[in-house]
Each structure stands twice: as structure tokens, then as C-alpha cells.
Amino acid sequence: MQVRFTKMHGLGNDFMVVDLITQRARFTPERVRELSDRNFGIGFDQLLLVETPTDPEMDFKYRIYNADGSEVENCGNGARCFARFVTRKRLTGKQTIAVQTAKGPLYLSLVDDDKVRVDMGEPVLKPERIPFQAEQQAAEYPVEVNGQLYQVGAVSMGNPHGVLRIDSVDSAPVETLGPALESHPSFPERANIGFMEIIDRNNIRLRVFERGAGETLACGTGACAAVVSGQLRGWLDSDVCVQLPGGKVDIHWNGYGSSVIMTGTADTVYEGRVQL
């Protein structure tokens, strides 16, 4: 069986996007791993599936699989690509799209200069809901790795994140500390790990080691989590430009009780068909 797909990226965070409204397909974890391989497959960080919602108030259902075949709850860069995809495929004519995810609704809006604004919802900060192993909520938590303590901010943006402040993203130990923290017992469902360098109160640089994917060129939920954590720790203002290896994304958060708003680009690379 052949399935149509679109290769897209958001700041270099790349995706295989499949419309499962006008066609049918089933992706096993093994097949996802094969397709994600950059030498023998299509190559991507995540597979995004567009499905018919089970909630009548939603326009679409949004499902995400990491390159390792595991299904995850949310992907901010993917959400922007999702909005562009359903619009360009004429699956909707709406300017604001309501999307059902495993962790609740997302609202995606098409804005000027070909950007997409995503209402990412309120960040989750209670440890038991992130989930993170801690007795009480705090702005940061000490986490031990190989006998060394790191101060980590813990935030969920529909998926769990740990955020560290470092002096320079250029010398950050992403390849070693990233996987150690991703699978640390403090994060019982694993986590995306962000390495944040603060330029000033409105600008940061960020590298993210993503759960199930490794380091990517950009991570939308990671950018949101970094800004939330930076605000909670008193380092950042409400409007922050996040510079990732793949480009820039703008994040706005007004603090407790408000949604995180992310605005950025989404680009199509090519169209194709694949045999399942």
C-alpha cells in the first residue's frame, strides 16, 4: 500500500506529515523507526498524523511519533507545520484551527508573513502532573548526575521538559548530559532536556535534547518550557526571542494562569509517496 506524505520543517525540526482523513494507513513503531532513518528511509525527527477528531468541537486530531517509534503528547514546531499542511491541502478554510491532542486542545492561527501562532495552553508546573519526582513545587530542583548536582527547572508543555541554564550553548554537554537527564529517575516518563543561554531578559539561545529523538535543530515545546522556566526563576520577561540552531521563534507568557503563545514559521520541503 502506498501512502502520500509531505516532508516539512519548523526551523530545521523536520517532519513526515501524513493525511489520514482522505487515506488510510497504519504505522507500527518498527516502521516509524525505518522511515525516520536518514540513510535508509525518509529521515525525520517526528511523524505527524492528521486524523478525524473524536471530540466534535475539534477540527482535527493531531498525533505525533518520535523517530524511535514512541508516541508523544505534543510538538510545537510540528503544530505549526500541521496548521500549514491542513490549509495547503484544503482540509480546512479556517484561519484558526482547533486541534485535539493527547494532552488537550491546541489552537493554531495563521498570521501575516507566513507564520503560525500556536496557543500552547498553560504550562503544567505541579511535579506530579509533569511528571517529576519532587515533594513540592519549586522553580528549580537539584538533580544529581554522576555525583554532580544540577539545578533543573521542570515544566510540562503537554510533554515533560527539564531546563538548565548554562554559560554557552556552544560548549554545553548536550551529547552526554542530555541523555543522562532525559532518562533520569526524576523524570519517570523521560523528558526533553533544554540547555539555555541567557543573552538578556528578552533573548536566549537554546539547544534541546529531545526525548526519543536526540538533539534536534529546534524544539517548539522546548522553547516554551525554557521561557516559562526562565521567568519563574526571575531571569526573563514576558516576551522572549528564542534562538535555536535552526532559527528563531517568539514566545510570550504572562505568568501563572495564562497560556504560552508561540509564533514562528513552517515550511514544506517536498511531497512524496511511500510503501507501507
Summarize pLDDT for 162-203 with one digit per residue, the tens: 999 999 999 999 999 999 999 999 999 999 999 999 999 999
Q: What is the pLDDT of residues 107-136, one digit of tens each?
A: 999 997 689 999 999 999 999 999 999 999
pLDDT for res 114 = 80
- 107, 189: one domain: no
Whether residue 81 contacts residue 266, with contact meaning beta carbons closer than 8 Å, is answered with: yes
- 93, 203: one domain: no
Cα distance between residue 255 and residue 10, in whole Å? 26
Q: Is 84 annotated as a binding residue?
A: no
pTM, full prediction: 0.89
pLDDT for res 112 = 77
Cα distance between residue 3 and residue 275, in whole Å? 6
Q: Which three cell numbers stand for residue 181?
A: 537527564
Cα distance between residue 5 and residue 27, in whole Å? 13
| Number of separate domains in the chain | 2
- Whether the predicted pLDDT of 47 surpasses 80: yes
Q: Is 254 annotated as a binding residue?
A: no
- 140, 219: one domain: yes
- 12, 88: one domain: yes
- 135, 253: one domain: yes
- Whether the predicted pLDDT of 212 surpasses 90: no
Q: What is the pLDDT of residues 247-270, one digit of tens each?
A: 999 999 999 999 999 999 999 999
Q: Is 66 annotated as a binding residue?
A: yes
Domain that holds residue 55: 2-119+265-275
- 113, 132: one domain: no
Q: Is 46 annotated as a binding residue?
A: yes
- 229, 213: one domain: yes
Active-site annotation, residues: 75, 219
- 205, 143: one domain: yes
Residues 6+ apart with CB under 8 A from 208: 192, 193, 194, 195, 215, 216, 218, 219, 222, 244
- 153, 66: one domain: no
Q: Is 159 annotated as a binding residue?
A: yes
Rounded to the nearest integer, the mean pLDDT of the chain is 96
Radius of gyration of the chain (CA): 18
